[in-house]
């Protein structure tokens, strides 16, 4: 079992959404220090202030996780000021919900850089400290979009497929040499945080409540689970994609469960 008691926790994308909730719940579980990273300075200040006002120990860094040099510099500052990060929530992510041909080159690069490279940059900065002590937890918030194709999120899906492959490979790699470091790959469907505002949820796949999913993530960390796929239908995705002919799977996913229609009314956050 993993305990949050007296641990230093870092959350990327920590100023809002599930990132903020994960940080707050880690503190309520007894974490001694929460390090919040976010690209939005105003939101970061407001979020940190709300937690400091409740007596928690908080430090913040304005960080664009797609910038490797910025990540490394900020990580060095964190390690110098608060020491080793015990529990890392690799959470920051974005989505551009439109047809592939409507993406700009900036849309493509930004999505891949944040959702895929950002996870790698942050983990690369903090893993050495965990490896030195053979202890720590890395929680990668990937997505159910990393398990199945979906029109309207081509680049987002690509970034998450890559993220899932990297996270799984890293877990296996470290299992050979550093069994004390635990990895959790979180693959949820749509979460009701505003990021996916306007989506039409597929059949039997409800919009996830942020409070509920973050509590599940915290429990999964404590229980040292390897995967968290939610809701239940996400757990069946790879099985059915593996056994069904592609056209049959596409018919079931697209026509029956309406997965492929889910992004047709997507709006997303108005400030993204």
Instruction: Give the model's pLDDT for residue 269.
Output: 80
Each residue of 167-194: b (16+ CB within 10 Å) or e? bbebbeebeeebeebbbbbbbbbbbbbb
Instruction: Give the model's pLDDT for residue 83.
Output: 96
The closest of 85, 77, 75, 76 to 130, measured between CA atoms, is: 85
- Give residue-wise pLDDT tens across range 130-155: 999 999 999 999 999 999 999 999 99
Q: Distance between CA 150 and CA 148 in Å, rounded?
A: 7
Residues paired with residue 89 on neighbouring β-strands, in sequence order? 11, 139
Domains of the chain, each with CATH number or no CATH: 8-261 (3.40.50.720)
- Give residue-wise pLDDT tens across range 186-229: 999 999 999 999 999 999 899 999 999 999 999 999 999 999 99
How many C-beta atoms surround the C-beta of residue 203 within 10 A? Answer: 10
**Is residue 188 classed as helix, strand or coil in its secondary structure?**
strand
DSSP 98: S
Looking at residues 85-94, what average pLDDT do you find?
98
Q: Which two tokens stand for residue 191?
A: 């979460």
The active-site residue, picked from 121, 156, 249, 260, is 156
Q: Distance between CA 139 and CA 191 in Å, rounded?
A: 17
Quick check: 106 pLDDT over 70?
Answer: yes
- Neighbour-count burial of 63, counting CB atoms closer than 10 A to its CB (0-12 exposed, 13-18 middle, 19+ buried): buried
The structure's pTM equals: 0.96
Instruction: Give the model's pLDDT for residue 271.
Output: 52
Residues paired with residue 255 on neighbouring β-strands, in sequence order? none
Q: Which two tokens stand for residue 201?
A: 């949820």
Q: Mark whether 156 is an active-site residue.
A: yes
How many C-beta atoms surround the C-beta of residue 3 within 10 A? Answer: 13
- Give residue-wise pLDDT tens across range 52-69: 999 999 999 999 999 999
Percent of the chain with pLDDT over 90: 98
Quick check: 272 pLDDT over 60?
Answer: no
- Give residue-wise pLDDT tens across range 20-55: 999 999 999 999 999 999 999 999 999 999 999 999
């Amino acid at each position: 079992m993993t305990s949050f008691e007296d641990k230093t926790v870092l959350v990327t994308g920590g100023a809002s959404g599930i990132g903020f909730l994960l940080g707050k719940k880690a503190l309520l579980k007894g974490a001694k220090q929460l390090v919040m990273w976010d690209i939005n300075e105003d939101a970061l200040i407001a979020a940190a202030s709300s937690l400091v006002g409740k007596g928690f120990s908080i430090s913040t860094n304005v960080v664009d996780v797609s910038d490797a040099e910025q990540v490394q510099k900020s990580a060095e500052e964190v390690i110098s000021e608060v020491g080793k990060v015990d529990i890392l929530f690799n959470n920051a992510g974005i989505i551009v919900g439109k047809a592939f041909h409507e993406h700009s080159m900036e849309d493509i690069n930004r999505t891949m850089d944040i959702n895929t490279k950002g996870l790698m940059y942050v983990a690369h900065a903090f893993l050495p400290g965990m490896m030195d002590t053979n202890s720590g937890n890395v929680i990668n918030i990937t997505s159910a979009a990393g398990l199945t194709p979906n029109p309207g999120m081509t680049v987002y899906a690509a970034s998450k497929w890559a993220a899932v492959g990297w996270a799984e490979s890293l877990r296996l790699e470290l299992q050979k040499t550093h069994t004390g470091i635990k990895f959790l790959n979180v693959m949820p469907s749509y979460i009701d945080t505003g990021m996916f505002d306007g989506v039409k949820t597929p059949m039997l796949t409800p919009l996830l409540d942020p409070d509920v999913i973050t509590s599940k993530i915290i429990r999964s960390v404590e229980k040292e689970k390897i995967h968290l796929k939610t809701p239940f239908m996400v757990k069946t995705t790879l099985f059915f994609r593996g056994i069904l002919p592609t056209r049959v799977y596409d018919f079931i996913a697209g026509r029956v469960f309406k997965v492929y229609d889910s992004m047709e009314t997507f709006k997303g956050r108005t400030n993204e």
